[in-house]
Structure 1
Amino acid sequence: MAEARAAAVVAWLAERGWTPFPFQRETWALMRARRAGLLHATTGTGKTLAAALGAWLAYGDDGARRPLIRPADAGHLPPEGEGVASPAGVAPLPQGEGGGQRPPGEGSAAQTNIVATASHALALLWITPMRALAADTERALREAFAGVAARDPSGAPAWTVGARTGDTSAAERARQARSPPSALVTTPESLALMLSRPDARETFAGLRCVVVDEWHELIGNKRGVLTQLGLARLRGLRPGLPTWGLSATLGNLGEALRALLGPQAAGQGALVEARIDKPLIVDTLLPRAPGRFPWAGHLGAAMAAAVVAEIEAARTTLVFTNVRSQAELWYQSLLKLRPDWAGAIALHHGSLARETRDWVEQGLKAGTLKAVVCTSSLDLGVDFLPVERVLQVGSPKGVARLLQRAGRSGHAPGRVSRVTIVPSHALELIEAAAVRAAIRDGRIESRKSPDAPLDVLAQHCVTVALGGGFVPEDLLVEVRTTAAYAALSDEAWRWCLDFVSKGGPTLKAYPGFRRVVPGADGVWRVVDRDIAHRHRLNIGAIVSDAAVVVQYGPAPRGAKLGSVEEGFVARMRAGQRFWFGGRILEFVRLEAGTAFVKAAKGGGTTPAWAGGRMPLSTTLADAMVEAFARAAKGDYDSPELAAARPMLEVQAKWSALPTPSTLLAETLTSREGWRLFVYPFAGRDIHLGLASLVAWRAARAEPGTFSLSVNDYGFEILSGSSRDWAALLPDCLAPAPDLAALTAEVVESLNAGELARRRFRDIAHIAGLVVAGYPGQRKSAKTMQASSGLFYDVFRKYDPDNGLLRQAEREALDDELDVKRLMTTLDAMAARRLDLRPLERATPLAFPLMVERFREQLSNETLTARIERMLGDLNAAADA
């Protein structure tokens, strides 16, 4: 029968014109052998079919007509499917459920083993990071399972498929509870919600396999940690449960496998790497006149006409930008040049209303849209076959991100994927050359799991307490099977238990913080209905700035267009206009979390969203310095370097070009003061820490006032008083003796306390200390910050060892300031020869840093005049 089912799979693929790849056959064999593992393959080569059809081949009989096992039936599960022997060293899925803590009363002598014979059992759980991807995956799985079942000689009915996300209606959730689908597509947050239900054990009693899609998108953040804990809970309910991860762009596959399966099981997991030479074209749309003195965004408008020509030549194009405000601006620019494209091009980003995004996605699938200007909201594996081209406006800032976006075109085996970089300033020509070289050499960024965040752990404890309860000793063993908490200390665990049961030493007098109550039987549960309701409404690890709904006219008739951040609207006055969703709107009033607007004409501002600047990745930064080094030798070996040659020659003539063995620094004295420029190429975030540290060290020798400016390539320090930077620099750039010493300096040089306070707001939200409110009654960002700030101050004064307080300080240093990478950067800088060049005028590398500082001091009109005057002087000097 196994061979006949495999033949049915091959036959169904053949009817579609496909032949199974070797990596798909390997995955199927491993899944039929009850193995777990990670599948890494290029986007659009068939990872979904490899995992879905492998699950059907291994467990198809289980998921189609298998009784739903009540918790009372633990220890009486039917035999395993096809009876495939487990490979040596891998435990087979046990015949009995075992594991986990059974709530009292379930399975007692007073109960009988009732089997719901008319019901299906959930056999396959498919976890995906995005709702839109969940809906697309649901359609793909339903088609695949129906196709192979129709050719299955056993006559077993097709697996049913459902989705459980934040978009799933209450009626659909109720239907799933009565009759679970064979395969369920969900998100990390919805999985946590299901685990918080009293019937969690029953829901997953028949689960046979878990697939985590787009694992590279989850592994490096707290949503990934939430997923790790959810997987550990499922394995606690179903010991030996096989888990598979799917990934397309990862540089550290071993660590990714460890995070997926846990440290103990990772050695037994399989790593499948697809060896497919999928055609990929990465090129650059070269500007006619890139200029010799760049600044951020100066090529944007000049490239619009060329972008229109590229869109014209393709059937359907995705135009990616890095931020939502940039997407809004580019959409306006394209329509201004081609007003006849109204209705044929669209805008897509995460702040638009779901109905708008759904309409755009359906238009892409149907091929009715000529182009869509989008952000990372369309990064992941949604299948848009009509898309022929991808344009990336500005630098992708990372190799993996560009590869991910490239895969949105030609999203099928054998089809060509093509991505074209559209530089927004001349230095991005160097980035384009660097990213193409990195792709050619196979260099992709690594991602690592966060280390033991206590806010996520506290939330998970309450979730498990809701889902039937837990015995602390058993749950600790389970939690430590994850990569994130493998080294969790006994002290941290005790603190977490104390926090969820009492609120810690400072909050123990308040009943509202006694969320989990230890029972006389040793099982810890949530017994308060209000606490349970509040927890379920605020479950998850996604925390963003408070947003207000943008709506035409009064409710309920007014159309909701999407949302903008509260801080943007709070500064607006009635009558002011702004661009949103590709249209010009006039602000009327702000009321109860809704910004009421009406249609307007003319111009307006564009909303700015937090988190708008992506830092340059270390992998791409290193490749960029290597490109500079090739140019320094006169080797302009790519179209991008050839186009940037006038700029590079001026930089080399007036100063020098960076190389891997040298650290370029420049000094310039002007009427504004004494300037220092340093170019570590470590990314904006690290440069902010470096600039602050260097200025603080310089002030120890002689106090003074400094102005700082940073970008992805370097930093500028401007002193109003005389500074001999050549004499100061060796000490100012010296590496720290150890991490503790550097941390102390960073805390002194920056307002690390304020960074920790801001970080604490998100941590307090995830941990359940403060809540965002209820649907229709969401709290404002100001209220959330005030509430969390109060807790922060109380803990600082009365409970300085509070776990969440320590976590906020650690995240401020590790994530926002990244002190470990800062130390590595200082060490790397010390290992290179310092190449200090005194300047007579600003170089092409220094000029954008000066403009960056001017942006914060001048209005747009004044800034434009200042830039034009400086450019005139610099170009005249370069021509001399």
Structure 2
Amino acid sequence: MSEQAVPSQINDWFAGRGWRIRRHQRQMLEASDASRHALLVADTGAGKTLAGFLPTLADFTEERLDGKAPPDGLHTLYVSPLKALAHDVQRNLLTPIEEMGLPITVETRSGDTPSDRKRRQRQKPPHVLLTTPESLSLLLSFPDSFELFSGLKRIVIDEVHAFATGKRGDLLALALSRLQAIAQDMRRAALSATVASPEAFLEWLAPWGDLDTVELVEGEQGAPSEVEILLPDEERVPWGGHAATWAIPQLYERISKNRTTLVFTNTRFLAEYIFQHLWDVNDENLPIGIHHGSLSKEARRKVEGAMARGELRALVATASLDLGVDWGDIDLVVQMGAPKGSSRLLQRIGRANHRLDQPSRALLVPGNRFEFLEATAAKEAVDEGRRDGEDFRPGGLDVLAQHVMACACAAPFEEGELLAQVRSSLSYAWIDEEIWQRVLTFVATGGYALEAYDKFKRIVRDNEGVWRLSHPEQAQRHRMNAGIIIDSEMLEVRINSGRGRGGRSLGKIEERFAASLSPGDTFAFAGMSLEVVKLQDMEVLVKAAKASAMIPSYGGARMPLTTHLADRVRSMLVDRAGWARFPEDVREWLEVQDWRSQMPGPGQLLVESFPHAKRHYSVYYTFEGWNANQSLGMLITRRMEDRGLMPGGFVANDYSLAVWGLKSVKDPAPLLSPDILQDEFIEWVQNSHLLRRAFREVAVIGGLVERQHPGKRKTGKQVTFSTDLIYDVLRKYEPDHVLLEAAWADARTRMTDVGRLGSLLDRAAEELVHVELDRVSPLAVPVMVMIGREATPQGSVDDELLLEAESLAGAAMRVDEAHEPH
């Protein structure tokens, strides 16, 4: 595209700022002008969002309007995974619009948008609407959606890697199909900094998977990131733990030397924990903030505003700030603990500096020796520009059921036409006529085991084969309950304002954690020490406390170790020549392991067995992540019980699993035979809370169980109770119910990493290496240190773990005796 093809208003604006239009920004405009869909993969700081919006801005320039009035109605939809991201983009989009004097109106729409504004947006929409997948799906459920979207020209999907492979991606894929049917000339654009496999995303983006209609635009290379791994000044890299609190003094020193530092942790628990430790050493009283998803909207906005104005010296955050928030003057990004994946690390590093031509600086702080190896693997992957990510999976049937209901709320539909729409997306191209009829039957009656109950009758079919709502009120019920994100039931934490009334909200904590609190208990939250005054309804009333004893524990926040990083760590363990680049104590750790036992080589499954403290231990080096290791631990202990090996328990981390019992395991092979997935696994999942929890989620998403009725909301306990009852009925009378199938799919993939378990068992069948030792090995120490951690009182936990780690490490590293047989 020539300079002339870019409208002069845009050219002049770039020139006025001292910028040039980058090649990828020009190509996005070119693709749009050629009526093609486009996927842009470009580094953070490359002006991705502006590139995505450039064709929209161009359509409103004087040159292209050519004397005509700007068009009425919705022109461009922008979809992001986070509400905060939409607000951030609005700020950054309004600047070029105002400075160029373009006649474009921009608004946001999310769950936080007031209802009167939502109504007005449907009647008199802005030119550009910034929204989330859930809000878009709700918009499509209104009868006026056909009129609202009929003139839609473009949809821009930001940070597409963050949600396309999950259920929110399924919902968006269905919305794209629906929009394309309403506005056939609509063009799709998706943006990402960290897509590992562009081909898969191109296919996901394309209608009917037609790759000829989509262009891949690759951004200009930015300056390479500068990634450093922090090591202890004097002491050695810790054996166990993952909080990396050993680094607090060094971290504080870095914070005091930089203008602004962003400190990422992998869980909300760790965010509160690290914040507290930083505050304890904050002698200079530097302004340090905290940000995570459980804090109140007001608390998050306040911190975001302070950060944008450059008022904070450091901010401790979770994945809540992984994406898109554009603060150009962050000097340093810190990753506390293991990064878990190279794409995630790249995404976080990209929060620093936010300029393409200057390197972003990052500091990795490993919590233990395996995390040091993982940090090294992630740094080398980033240096090589290698990315990783989750694979696409078939779209969820519960999400499809929700979409069918949304379409019925908008207008009666003919089932063949809607099926064709649904199958035009990659996520649902697999849906055949038989599955489609099962989904329709479920939405219409709840399934044959539930069809006697009127409450499950949502849509009816007339003699012409047209489906419509069974009653107009079904539309309101659908809109109140639609959505994909099913949080653990949360209780509001409020400052006690006297006489048992709650004042300002600080955020939310999980029901399970709240249930363990009593008046007088203290805990740290939102960066404060709080004392419980009382628990009432769905609230915890608190006041400021003088001491802090406990920290909220959040479920489901554990990030999986990517296969890519796991493979890199395994390769490091057998690359003896490469050990020279490691610190002396890490090198010695690996050398003694190699001498006393063996290294788990690629393609192998190493199992070590040894006695310790009057029990018999086996450590399985899987490198398959915590989820898979947890599942494997449950399955192995069941098998041990059946074989009279008297198991005592197990503990897992991302790299290994330690199982113990009163009898020694002479041969682990029978405990790992592949039929464990057919036998014990199925029995275990069916009888555990796992499938019930998965069923609860799909029942809510699929619309079988409502969280909200007009004027009232169900508690988590009520929802669980009703889904448990239905679950038991379906298992007994309709085991092939579409929601049980959806729950199985969830339980097998998301909650247990069954695919990784399967490959692990295949490896065990082919190359299992069993080493019997007389005591703990060096490689086993990090997982062995975890045993008993949960049962240790909070105050003494660090001291006791330190003593245990020293004792285990001393035994493991002792080499002053005869060489032990492999």
TM bracket (short chain):
over 0.9
Cα-to-partner distance string for 1:88-129 (whole Å, 9 max, x where unaligned): xxxxxxxxxxxxxxxxxxxxxxxxxxxxx9982111111111
Match among 260, 268, 282 for residue 338 of structure 1 = 282
Q: Measure how far apart 1:43 and its partner are.
A: 1.4
Task: Assess if the C-alpha contact under 8 Å between 1:573 and 1:587 holds in 2.
Answer: yes
Q: Partners of 1:744 and 1:378 in 2: how far apart?
A: 42
Say if 1:46 and 1:183 are closer, same or farther in 2 by CA, change over 3 A. Answer: same
Residue 651 of structure 2 is matched in structure 1 by 709
Residue 415 of structure 1 is matched in structure 2 by 358
Q: Measure how far apart 1:166 and its partner are.
A: 1.4
Residue 310 of structure 1 is matched in structure 2 by 254
Task: Assess if the C-alpha contact under 8 Å between 2:490 and 2:508 holds in 1.
Answer: yes
SS at 1:251 equivalent:
coil
Say if 1:497 and 1:65 are closer, same or farther in 2 by CA, change over 3 A. Answer: farther
Is 1:809 aligned to 2:754, yes or no? no
Is 1:758 aligned to 2:703, yes or no? no
Q: Measure how far apart 1:681 and its partner are.
A: 1.1
Match among 505, 527, 531 for residue 586 of structure 1 = 531
Is 1:666 aligned to 2:611, yes or no? no
Q: Which runs of structure 2 are paired with 1:95-174 in the superposition (5 Å)?
A: 120-148=72-100, 150=101, 157-174=102-119
Cα-to-partner distance string for 1:34-59 (whole Å, 9 max, x where unaligned): 10021111112111111101233357
SS at 1:633 equivalent:
helix
Q: Measure how far apart 1:196 and its partner are.
A: 1.0
Q: Measure how far apart 1:367 and its partner are.
A: 0.7
Is 1:623 aligned to 2:568, yes or no? yes
Q: Measure how far apart 1:336 and its partner are.
A: 0.9
Residue 744 of structure 1 is matched in structure 2 by 679
Residue 401 of structure 1 is matched in structure 2 by 344
Q: Measure how far apart 1:722 and its partner are.
A: 3.7
Cα-to-partner distance string for 1:660-716 (whole Å, 9 max, x where unaligned): 254432110234322211212111122223334444555565554352221111112
Cα-to-partner distance string for 1:608-648 (whole Å, 9 max, x where unaligned): 01113222111111111122223x336423xx555622332
Counterpart amino acid of residue 318 in structure 2: T
Task: Assess if the C-alpha contact under 8 Å between 1:161 and 1:183 holds in 2.
Answer: yes
Counterpart amino acid of residue 3 in structure 1: Q
Counterpart amino acid of residue 825 in structure 1: L
Say if 1:290 and 1:238 are closer, same or farther in 2 by CA, change over 3 A. Answer: farther
Say if 1:679 and 1:189 are closer, same or farther in 2 by CA, change over 3 A. Answer: same
SS at 1:373 equivalent:
strand
Match among 619, 623, 626 for residue 684 of structure 1 = 626
Residue 39 of structure 1 is matched in structure 2 by 40
Residue 732 of structure 2 is matched in structure 1 by 797
Counterpart amino acid of residue 793 in structure 1: D
Is 1:853 aligned to 2:787, yes or no? yes
Q: Partners of 2:182 and 2:811 in 1: how far apart?
A: 74
Task: Assess if the C-alpha contact under 8 Å between 1:43 and 1:407 holds in 2.
Answer: yes
SS at 1:558 equivalent:
strand
Q: Partners of 2:678 and 2:220 in 1: how far apart?
A: 44
Q: Partners of 2:64 and 2:393 in 1: how far apart?
A: 35
Say if 1:440 and 1:319 are closer, same or farther in 2 by CA, change over 3 A. Answer: same
Counterpart amino acid of residue 602 in structure 1: A
Say if 1:119 and 1:26 are closer, same or farther in 2 by CA, change over 3 A. Answer: closer
Q: Partners of 1:324 and 1:866 in 2: how far apart?
A: 22
Counterpart amino acid of residue 794 in structure 1: V
Of all paired residues, the percent bearing the same amino acid is 36
Match among 489, 496, 518 for residue 573 of structure 1 = 518
Task: Assess if the C-alpha contact under 8 Å between 1:855 and 1:863 holds in 2.
Answer: no
Q: Partners of 1:518 and 1:464 in 2: how far apart?
A: 14
Q: Which runs of structure 2 are paired with 1:499-514 in the superposition (5 Å)?
A: 499-514=442-457
Match among 318, 329, 337 for residue 273 of structure 2 = 329
Task: Assess if the C-alpha contact under 8 Å between 2:227 and 2:362 holds in 1.
Answer: yes
Counterpart amino acid of residue 619 in structure 2: F
Counterpart amino acid of residue 785 in structure 1: T
Counterpart amino acid of residue 451 in structure 1: P
Match among 140, 147, 151 for residue 202 of structure 1 = 147
Q: Measure how far apart 1:456 and its partner are.
A: 0.7
Residue 372 of structure 1 is matched in structure 2 by 315
Q: Measure how far apart 1:138 and its partner are.
A: 1.3
Counterpart amino acid of residue 597 in structure 1: V
Q: Partners of 1:399 and 1:643 in 2: how far apart?
A: 25
Is 1:56 aligned to 2:57, yes or no? yes
Counterpart amino acid of residue 19 in structure 1: R
Which range is displaced more, 412-421 or 696-705?
696-705
Task: Assess if the C-alpha contact under 8 Å between 1:615 and 1:685 holds in 2.
Answer: yes
Q: Which runs of structure 2 are paired with 1:468-479 in the superposition (5 Å)?
A: 468-479=411-422
Task: Assess if the C-alpha contact under 8 Å between 2:37 and 2:188 holds in 1.
Answer: yes
Q: Measure how far apart 1:735 and its partner are.
A: 4.7
Q: Measure how far apart 1:398 and its partner are.
A: 1.1
Residue 668 of structure 2 is matched in structure 1 by 729
Q: Measure how far apart 1:14 and its partner are.
A: 1.8
Q: Which runs of structure 2 are paired with 1:395-544 in the superposition (5 Å)?
A: 395-519=338-462, 522-526=465-469, 528-544=471-487
Cα-to-partner distance string for 1:355-387 (whole Å, 9 max, x where unaligned): 111111111111111111110111101111121
Match among 254, 257, 263 for residue 319 of structure 1 = 263
Q: What is the TM-score with the length of structure 2 in the denominator?
A: 0.93
Residue 561 of structure 1 is matched in structure 2 by 506
Counterpart amino acid of residue 418 in structure 1: R
Counterpart amino acid of residue 180 in structure 1: P
SS at 1:743 equivalent:
coil
SS at 2:428 equivalent:
coil
Counterpart amino acid of residue 87 in structure 2: A
Residue 492 of structure 2 is matched in structure 1 by 549
Is 1:184 aligned to 2:129, yes or no? yes
Q: Partners of 2:176 and 2:477 in 1: how far apart?
A: 23
Long gaps (5+) in structure 2: 817-822
Q: Measure how far apart 1:204 and its partner are.
A: 0.6
Match among 589, 611, 631 for residue 647 of structure 1 = 589
Q: Partners of 1:64 and 1:194 in 2: how far apart?
A: 29
SS at 1:636 equivalent:
helix
Q: Partners of 2:231 and 2:238 in 1: how far apart?
A: 16
Which range is displaced more, 686-695 or 243-252?
686-695
Q: Partners of 1:482 and 1:609 in 2: how far apart?
A: 35
Task: Assess if the C-alpha contact under 8 Å between 2:236 and 2:585 holds in 1.
Answer: no
Q: Partners of 2:188 and 2:540 in 1: how far apart?
A: 45
Residue 107 of structure 1 is matched in structure 2 by none
Q: Measure how far apart 1:404 and its partner are.
A: 0.6
Q: Which runs of structure 2 are paired with 1:4-83 in the superposition (5 Å)?
A: 5-57=6-58
Say if 1:32 and 1:291 are closer, same or farther in 2 by CA, change over 3 A. Answer: same
Q: Measure how far apart 1:766 and its partner are.
A: 0.5
Counterpart amino acid of residue 18 in structure 1: W
SS at 1:718 equivalent:
strand
Counterpart amino acid of residue 745 in structure 2: R
Task: Assess if the C-alpha contact under 8 Å between 1:814 and 1:820 holds in 2.
Answer: yes
Cα-to-partner distance string for 1:560-587 (whole Å, 9 max, x where unaligned): 1111111111121111111111111111
Q: Partners of 2:501 and 2:210 in 1: how far apart?
A: 53
Q: Measure how far apart 1:788 and its partner are.
A: 0.6
Q: How many residues align?
A: 811
Task: Assess if the C-alpha contact under 8 Å between 1:290 and 1:425 holds in 2.
Answer: no
Counterpart amino acid of residue 492 in structure 2: V
Task: Assess if the C-alpha contact under 8 Å between 1:437 and 1:623 holds in 2.
Answer: no
Q: Partners of 2:238 and 2:277 in 1: how far apart?
A: 24
Q: Provide the alpha-carbon RMSD of the alignment.
A: 2.7
Residue 93 of structure 1 is matched in structure 2 by none
Long gaps (5+) in structure 1: 67-80, 82-116, 151-156
Task: Assess if the C-alpha contact under 8 Å between 1:433 and 1:627 holds in 2.
Answer: no
SS at 1:853 equivalent:
coil
Q: Measure how far apart 1:765 and its partner are.
A: 0.6
Q: Partners of 1:875 and 1:292 in 2: how far apart?
A: 15
Q: Partners of 1:61 and 1:528 in 2: how far apart?
A: 49
Task: Assess if the C-alpha contact under 8 Å between 2:59 and 2:65 holds in 1.
Answer: no
